[in-house]
Amino acid sequence: MTSYKLLLLPGDGIGPEVMAEVEKVVAWLGNAGLATFETEIDLVGGAAIDVHGKPLADATLAKADAADAILLGAVGGPKWNGVAYDIRPEAGLLRLRKELGLFANLRPAICYPALAEASALKPELVEGLDMMIVRELTGGVYFGEPKEITTLPDGSKRAVDTQVYTTAEIERIAHVAFDLARKRLGRVASAEKNNVMKTGVLWKEVVTRVHQEHYADVELEHVLADNCAMQLVRRPKQFDVLVTDNLFGDVLSDVAAMLTGSLGMLPSASLGAIDAKGTRKALYEPVHGSAPDIAGKGFANPIAMIGSLAMCLRYSFGLGVAADRVEAAITRTLASGARTRDIASEGTKVISTAEMGDAIVRELAA
Ligand code: NAD
Ligand code: IPM
Ligand code: MN
């Protein structure tokens, strides 16, 4: 059986806590003969700053480049608030995304039946929710230049971030969204703000053209990003695939996360372009961050991280059966009533991060 090279980058805060649970699942898959992995662990974010003085060592980037896939926990935390902007923990993650060309970030928001009650919205609004946010990940205001703070003659300051998109960048993310929609309900909503932003004008124009030229069978709707945020909480099930830029995608996916019950539920895949050999670079990570407020307490929900492994099995290794099995184990574990603190309702028994990981592994074996 092929052995896949998996680089684990636990990172900071709850990152290592949720990664420890994914390692249990990786070990189980190996023992069950469903997939074998060669895993290696390395540092990213604040943990890397502490050792190397920067959030992503060149040697780590080289390992990431050579791996078949990367699993990342989370980066950041108050401990590193004082470090220089260019070497803050988040810069390590952004460098990984940019250098590996991971332009397509898939963030599925699925409301598990057992969790409809845990959502911030009424259960009937979210029950059965299954949408896919396709976030552009290597362009836009995250990377546009200039990006600076300068001092004006009067001593006050001026800060600039630059939102940039090219035709090619929009085209490739549009293709990802339309291709995904074809395998789902066949509907794409594209969110931008063409009413105030030139990048929004180009975004809408390019998405419209890609649709007309290649995807007449898919339904396309344009929605202004502010309205989109409102629609997500008003009637989330209207969405199938939602494609948007880097910053809007960041914000809208945190909104979508709450529809599913918790930020601790949302996995993600960050994918590069398919190369001549048919492979692509890929990094899998939960949508949530390092959650400094709960780090070290055993409160973290590991489901987003374990769900990210399931996406890795499906998208990087073509192991759909193993991915289905992991996802089914998560579904059954939730149905059995297992709840970490973030998804518990009043009166429910709360279990720890490790207990949730163990419960999922037990269901895998069942
Ligand atoms: P956060 O996502 O870390 O936490 C937001 C809230 O959600 C917190 O109350 C937290 O306790 C809760 N939460 C998050 N994940 C959870 C989980 N798995 N289980 C239970 N509860 C969970 O966002 P933040 O507090 O704004 O950011 C903290 C740090 O994380 C910052 O340094 C930020 O830059 C970084 N961050 C990193 C990533 C990443 O590495 N991909 C993503 C987002 C934020
Ligand atoms: C995310 C995070 C990151 C982002 C940060 C940590 C750089 O919020 O992955 O959603 O803004 O992309
Ligand atoms: Mn985010």
Q: Residue 1: pLDDT above 80? A: no
11, 47 contact by CB (below 8 A) = yes
Cβ atoms of 360 and 132 within 8 Å: the answer is no
Residue 1 CA to residue 153 CA, distance in Å, equals 66
Please write the tens of the pLDDT for every residue from 95-115: 999 999 999 999 999 999 899
Split at pLDDT 50, 70, 90, the class of 234 is very high
User: In the predicted model, what is the mean pLDDT of the chain?
Assistant: 97
pLDDT for position 2: 83
| ipTM value | 0.98
Rounded distance between C-alpha atoms, residue 308 and residue 324, angstroms? 12
Residue 50 has pLDDT above 80, yes or no: yes
Looking at residue 261, its amino acid is G
134: phi then psi, degrees, rounded to nearest 5: -110, 105
pLDDT at 117: 83
Whole-number pLDDT of residue 93 = 98
Which pair of tokens denotes residue 190? 């594209």
For the beta carbon of residue 38, count every other beta carbon within 10 angstroms. Answer: 11
Q: Tell me, what DSSP letter sits at residue 344?
A: P
| Separation of alpha carbons 177 and 154, rounded Å | 48
Rounded-to-integer distance, Cα 142 and Cα 246, Å = 7
CA 250 – ligand 2 centroid, Å: 7
Which of 271, 293, 266, 294 is CA-nearest to residue 282? 271
Percentage of the residues of the chain whose pLDDT score is greater than 90? 94
86 annotated among ligand-binding-site residues: yes
Question: How many C-beta atoms surround the C-beta of residue 310 within 10 A?
Answer: 25
Site residues for ligand 2, CB cut-off 6 Å: 76, 90, 93-94, 250, 287, 289
- Structure token pair of residue 225: 């990003």
| Binding pocket residue ranges, ligand 1, CB within 6 Å | 14, 74-77, 90, 93, 262-264, 285, 288-294, 300-301, 304, 342
The terminus-to-terminus CA distance of the chain in angstroms comes to: 23
Q: Is 300 annotated as a binding residue?
A: yes
pLDDT of residue 347: 83
Distance between Cα 289 and ligand 1 center (Å)? 3
CA distance 210 to 44: 37
For range 333-357, the mean pLDDT: 95
Q: What is the pLDDT of residue 345?
A: 86
Q: What pLDDT, in 10s, does the model give residues 143-164?
A: 999 999 999 999 999 999 999 9
CB 150 within 8 A of CB 158: yes
CA separation for the pair 67, 55 (Å, rounded):
19
- For residues 188-209, give the mean pLDDT: 98
Is pLDDT of 262 > 80?
yes
Domains (range + CATH), the chain: 1-111+262-366 (3.40.718.10), 139-259 (3.40.50.2300)
